[in-house]
Amino acid sequence: MATEKLYMETTGVITTPVYKVSKEQKEQADTLSAEKIQKAREEAIPSILKRYEKRQKELLGLKGDQDVEEN
């Protein structure tokens, strides 16, 4: 699979609106962001552990098959 890079040239200025937020709004956004990250971790870790354990069992099974073939 080849990867392609896309380069774009523009003759105009690209602008993005920027809004001022109060300290309270920033703290609230930071708290929500931290909560989202924590929730994602809590959902991801069991899934990762399950895949890890499955892979370990597969590798142990393959290792056991090789030991049997050598004898």
Query: What is the pLDDT at residue 27?
Result: 94
* Number of folded domains that form the chain: 1
The answer to whether position 9 is within a domain reads: no
- By C-alpha distance, which of 60, 58, 40, 36 is closest to 48? 40
SS3 70: helix
Domain membership of residue 56 (yes or no) is yes
Within-domain flag for 54: yes
Q: What is the pTM of this model?
A: 0.47
Range of the domain at 71: 27-71
Integer angstrom CA distances of residue 20 from 9, 15, 38: 30, 16, 27
Q: Is residue 15 one of the residues assigned to a domain? A: no
Nearest of 59, 58, 56 to residue 48 by alpha carbon: 56
CB 37 within 8 A of CB 45: no
Residue 67 lies in a domain: yes
- Note whether residue 8 is domain-resident: no
- Higher confidence at residue 23 or residue 10? 23
Mean pLDDT computed over 12-35: 89
The residue ranges of DSSP E strands in 2-67, in sequence order, are none
